[in-house]
């Protein structure tokens, strides 16, 4: 009987830890500037969306994310994440470390959606064309650019929404662009 109670208590504690871990962290969406510089934080809490190719999202800790404009992309036959007939785009993402600490680039994740309907895109990994995402650690004051590709089952690229999450702390950079 004692063992069952112990197992139940451990289960409840673990569930609480997992729930806290999934929802914990910053809701910082950064401040946006359209000239590539640092912008002053907005007075409201609405997420700001930067324009791909000209906007930069800078977080409170000094980490900054920017992109180049999206380009049409043809993945290699050996790529992962692309289905024949889908539309693929390539977006170069730059992370600038304006913090005082080294930044682990392997934590960076990105998602994209295409078109007016927001068709969810799959991230494409294309080793043949050196599209593998971010790797390594970024020292303070340095920046690094990675090519990221996405593929969706739509021809509509009139709107491309990109979300870049630099780490697990829920900081999120939002971008919009079009082909």
Q: Which two tokens stand for residue 110?
A: 């990105």
The residue ranges of every structural domain in the chain are 27-177
Per-residue model confidence as pLDDT tens digits over 55-85:
999 999 999 999 999 999 999 999 999 999 9
User: Which CATH code of 3.40.50.300, 3.30.1490.20, 2.60.40.1240, 3.40.50.1820 fits the domain covering 27-177?
Assistant: 2.60.40.1240
Contacts with 48 (C-beta within 8 Å, 6 or more apart), sequence order = 29, 30, 31, 32, 42, 57, 174
Per-residue model confidence as pLDDT tens digits over 11-61:
333 333 333 333 344 444 455 555 444 443 343 455 689 999 999 999 999
């Amino acid at each position: 009987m004692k063992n069952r109670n112990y197992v139940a208590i451990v289960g409840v504690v673990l569930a609480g830890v997992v729930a806290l871990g999934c929802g914990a962290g910053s809701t910082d969406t950064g401040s946006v500037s359209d000239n590539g510089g640092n912008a002053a934080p907005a007075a409201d809490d609405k997420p700001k969306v930067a324009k791909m190719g000209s906007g930069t999202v800078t977080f409170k800790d000094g980490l900054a994310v920017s992109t180049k404009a999206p380009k049409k992309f043809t993945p290699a036959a050996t790529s992962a994440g692309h289905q024949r007939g889908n539309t693929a785009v390539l977006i170069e993402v730059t992370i600038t470390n304006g913090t005082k600490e080294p930044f682990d680039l392997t934590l960076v994740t990105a998602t994209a959606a295409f078109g007016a309907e927001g068709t969810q895109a799959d991230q494409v990994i294309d080793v043949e064309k050196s599209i593998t995402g971010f790797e390594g650690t970024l020292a303070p004051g340095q920046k690094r650019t990675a090519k990221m590709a996405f593929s969706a089952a739509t021809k509509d690229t009139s709107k491309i929404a990109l979300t870049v999450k630099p780490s697990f702390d829920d900081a999120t950079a939002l971008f919009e662009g079009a082909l």
